[in-house]
Structure 1
């Protein structure tokens, strides 16, 4: 397969150039690593930017309907969808760790089994969280949100239930294909669904005047269209080495997968819920509708750019897990350096863009001058959030590739919930900095997390991680003849 040859070329080129001039060898290695990194990162960026883009487009269409719908969707998206997104994306990162290391170790048939195990775990998880979308209005009332926003959010929440189960398959399939360098199909399908969503939203909202049902109906149709395309790709025979059909072997050894999934879920949940809690706190301010709208617009801009950084997270995870699976600790460390440098360069570019166009961006989401003023007031803080986005996702990807999710979860608890949120509350309500205070607290938490993860990555014994990866894969390995079909 083409994807296998790219990985093999990297390894062969390193061996061929081992005895050449040091500078030339370094240039050759950097070029090879960059080539392999972008083969993973670009499709991942395309998929994540466009899949998140459907939410941004939905918010944009609703924002031009009424400010109340904009604020209500902001609550549903940042509290409920992000809550579930954090759980399922986090638990799906176990697939990323296992499939990446299995591919590096050439245990190809195990990847399909890991994928099926993740589907089982995630479907059960999504079903357990299902009632949140049914009882969203009373939940928001109980949290003290305004009555009109709570009622509007309840109507919107019911329409997002199909999107809940879209998460189950979208995340796991992307990580399964990404681990074997076949995620370009995911990027293309996601980009196509984004275009479909824009067209359907325009027809349903503007032409047919269906309002909220039209915008969210377009969201569900476009999102599921991409997942159906991914099923066709896998089941249609384009993954012959890693997909051998459904098997009851997926039901075996579930507990170790559940434990890794839970630690993975906790790691990313704590990160994604961080922003959700801050949006909830914004709802307690004097002008709650404006505060929530402005804060969520800034978070969406940051999150959309963050989707690009998640491409580097995916590249870091795949490269580290592949090399650990192969038993090559030096190649894993070299990959981390190349990916981190590239991500920081892109982060600086977007940091500058945000400083220049901070206020103008708000008019993509709203015509309300009060909201635009509030967004403009946050633009400098938004720019520095975007700059930090270029660093800590790569470090998180390294942790996922090595299976260190539990360690990162502890770091997130301390940095976000002991440092970031309490500081944000003090600055917002005691010092009276309002939304700006919340954002400063958020930034402090991210800085603490980034610093801590940098130290952990620097001090990690990668030769030891190679041994741990080998032990994990050997413990869960099933020979093809042992599968219970």
Structure 2
């Protein structure tokens, strides 16, 4: 069969076309040569090819066969800074509520609560969901030593999310009009809309911070966000107090918007001066028009993973808000107790979620290096870790439930209701951690679509309907019924996700990874040929 040169190479050896490098050899369209896939990157300039030899060689991944014990230790060690980061990010989100609660009126607090809920559902969940695509793209490209592709995917996802943020911001700017159809307390809407309009100013900074964290994490740098938030958190608290005392409810979102941009800037400074090796994966988008326009090409493949990630995250956010709305039927103490248990659950959720991020990065990295055996070992190690993490959080919630409830309220009646709900939440942790880790494995494999679909089924077909029946039906279990139903949905979700992980076709997963990269490379080839043809006109 006759071979056709990939980039119209005219001779053997290395030739440069429009700033891109070809090794002069050719491949058939259905042929994959892994060593050339790593080395012949269309993103590298000729002078940069020499640098490839001295770049880090996926040093946080083992070249030899790993072990369950080794991977478990690495996962736990690398998860420590990420866990701190997730906890601090959570505290950053609730700072405005705490400050307004202390220095504002009860109506201010209600408006802020409505605004924060809207921000989380339509803003934060969208950002976190779309950015999960980088758990697949960046980590797999890094494992394959396609270092500049890591930077390209980071910038491409950021650009895509900036576009997605436009309708979100437009919704926030007119949120009073839309929220009046679902919120009966219309007097709260004006302040909530003002809160959201100011928050919109910080949304681009938040996007840069979230995608930047994943850009660093794909390279094994997990503590960047921790050091950044050690600066941002105290600054945000101080700004929130000062601005809220002087300007009222608008002070808190101003402080948050400033903190979002400060986080993005601090992350850039940290990576530039304290972790300069992160810059090895930077994509030189400003060196030519061809480099720049690639940020806005090939969004379809990224969207195909980003959208299911959005569905997965959004379904979780919305489910707890629906539970809160359903709780309003049971009185003030029940609403307060639900808020306490939901907040404790959110705190507990940060532990397995942060550890799962490490799992996802390591598996995706091994897939990129074509070391499927090690990827499978990480999966086994992750389930061993998930069992330990689930048991750990379960015991904390069981034996510390009274003290945890008292952190959020001093009302004895509310503490009592929360005290009796905590054991249900504690039991949920045993299989919720399994669900979180299984979802992370699917993300690393590029199978977010399965996770998104199962999340919707688990929460909205099983969990919430069953919870409503247990709470309001013949058994009349009230608040406990809601949590029993939610727990059943999570248990079903854990079983379903684990089933798909165990049934993974690793050959197909790796082939899909190569197909994504090859499709992107084909676009490069066409662009280069077009550029060459144009230059001779």
Matched, 1:11 2:63: yes
Matched, 1:439 2:478: no
Alpha-carbon separation, structure 2, partners of 1:128 and 1:40:
36
SS in structure 2 at match of 1:378: helix
SS in structure 2 at match of 1:142: coil
Inter-CA distance 145–245: structure 2 relative to 1 (3 Å threshold): farther
Q: Which residue of 2 aligns with 1:193?
A: 232
Residue correspondences, number: 465
Given candidates 205, 219, 229, the residue that maps to 2:256 is 219
Alignment of 1:73-222 (within 5 A): 73-147=112-186, 153-204=192-243, 208=245, 211-222=248-259
Matched, 1:362 2:423: no
Contact 1:6 1:36 in 2 (8 A): no
Greater helix share, 1 or 2? Answer: 1
Alignment of 1:85-484 (within 5 A): 85-147=124-186, 153-204=192-243, 208=245, 211-233=248-270, 238-246=277-285, 247-248=291-292, 249-283=294-328, 285=329, 287=331, 290-431=333-474, 432-477=476-521
TM, length-normalised to structure 2: 0.78
Bigger mean CA offset, 60-69 vs 89-98: 60-69
SS in structure 1 at match of 2:180: helix
Contact 2:58 2:145 in 1 (8 A): no
Q: Which residue of 1 aligns with 2:71?
A: 33
Contact 2:224 2:271 in 1 (8 A): no
Q: Structure 2 unaligned runs (5+)?
A: 1-53, 286-290, 532-537
Contact 1:89 1:167 in 2 (8 A): no
Q: CA deviation at 1:141?
A: 3.2
SS in structure 2 at match of 1:245: coil
Q: CA deviation at 1:303?
A: 1.4
Q: CA deviation at 1:95?
A: 1.6
Q: Structure 1 unaligned runs (5+)?
A: 15-27
After superposition, give the CA deviation of every residue in 1:398-456 in whole Å (9 maximum; x if it has no partner).
01000001111111121111111111222233354333332222211111101111111
SS in structure 2 at match of 1:11: coil
SS in structure 1 at match of 2:97: helix
Matched, 1:60 2:98: yes
Alpha-carbon separation, structure 1, partners of 2:56 and 2:232:
25
Contact 2:112 2:249 in 1 (8 A): no
SS in structure 2 at match of 1:406: helix
Alpha-carbon separation, structure 1, partners of 2:99 and 2:496:
40
Task: Tell me which structure has the larger Cα radius of gyration.
Answer: 2
Alpha-carbon separation, structure 1, partners of 2:251 and 2:412:
26
Contact 2:125 2:310 in 1 (8 A): yes
Bigger mean CA offset, 438-447 vs 379-388: 379-388
Alpha-carbon separation, structure 2, partners of 1:186 and 1:298:
27
After superposition, give the CA deviation of every residue in 1:358-389 in whole Å (9 maximum; x if it has no partner).
23323433444454444334222222333333
Alpha-carbon separation, structure 1, partners of 2:284 and 2:469:
55
Contact 1:59 1:365 in 2 (8 A): no
Alpha-carbon separation, structure 1, partners of 2:205 and 2:266:
12
Bigger mean CA offset, 174-183 vs 161-170: 161-170
Alpha-carbon separation, structure 1, partners of 2:184 and 2:488:
26
Inter-CA distance 389–164: structure 2 relative to 1 (3 Å threshold): farther
CA RMSD of aligned residues (A): 3.0
Q: CA deviation at 1:214?
A: 3.6
Contact 1:46 1:191 in 2 (8 A): no
Q: Which residue of 2 aligns with 1:23?
A: none
Alpha-carbon separation, structure 1, partners of 2:494 and 2:220:
28
SS in structure 2 at match of 1:7: coil
Contact 2:206 2:264 in 1 (8 A): no
Structure with larger RCO (C-alpha < 8 A, sep 6+): 1
Given candidates 23, 26, 46, the residue that maps to 2:84 is 46
TM, length-normalised to structure 1: 0.86
Inter-CA distance 135–373: structure 2 relative to 1 (3 Å threshold): farther
